[in-house]
Amino acid sequence: MRKFLSIFVLTIIISFPTVLFGNNTAAAESHGEEIATYGKEFLGVSYKFGGTTPSSGFDCSGYLTYVFNKFNISLPRTAADQYQAGEKVSNKDIVVGDLVFFTTYKSGASHAGIYVGDNKFIHASSSKGIMISSLDERYWKTRYLGARRFITSSTNLTVKDGQIGVLTINESINLWKRTDDNQLQEVRVLQKGEKYRVYGYDDKFGGQYDLGGGLYVTNIDSHIVYSELTSKR
């Protein structure tokens, strides 16, 4: 009976994707406004390389990890790792609360901030501390790399090519990334109620779901529910 119900529900998901799967931009934007508002509370806090608190001062990634932690979103410590871990967002789809990345003192992502709307972002400047700058400024415009999203919708997803199922988070659980030596490294924490596309499964590390981009969730039945798509794209 349970198997029949699962197949029935998943058939509905595939048959009516516009109902259960959609663009997650609106949900991300709603939550992103809260994050941006909280981030602005630290305007004027001084810059400190390696700093992670208002009392000690912030560097760019330390500021981001501190702000997002307020909302139970764990970010990697460095801008480079944050750039690799977040969901890629096209320039036309950037919303408030997304992270924007730049290459500054070294190649690759070496600086980041929170997009706050009107083509502006808040960040920890090495010269002025926490401040708001414009993406249109020549310095930032010529060094811009792209945007990443760490805010996810709890219900909205679009079915993508290669997807085999959907993972629903019942309890907070770690997201891992496979390292070059085939080990798992913690990236951030997925929160209760969120849903993620699944692109594969293997039995390593006790079983793990492939969320794409080398990111994995281990198979802990009490924390996740996996639903296989009846028609894979």
Question: Which residues are marked as active site?
Answer: 60, 111, 123
3-state secondary structure of 32: helix
Distance, CA of 102 to CA of 149 (rounded, Å): 15
- Cβ proximity of 96 and 29 under 8 Å: yes
Query: Of 62, 70, 44, 42, nearest to 151 (Cα)?
Result: 70
- Say which DSSP state 45 is in: P
Distance, CA of 203 to CA of 68 (rounded, Å): 32
Helical segments of 92-177, H only: 138-141
3-state secondary structure of 131: strand
Which residues are CB-neighbours of 151 under 8 A, at least 6 positions away?
27, 28, 31, 32, 35, 73, 97, 98
3-state secondary structure of 155: coil
Instruction: Put residue 176 in one of left, alpha, beta given phi > 0 → left and psi -120 to 50 → alpha.
Output: beta
- Cβ proximity of 162 and 197 under 8 Å: no
Q: Could you identify the residue written with the tokens 């931009």?
A: 25
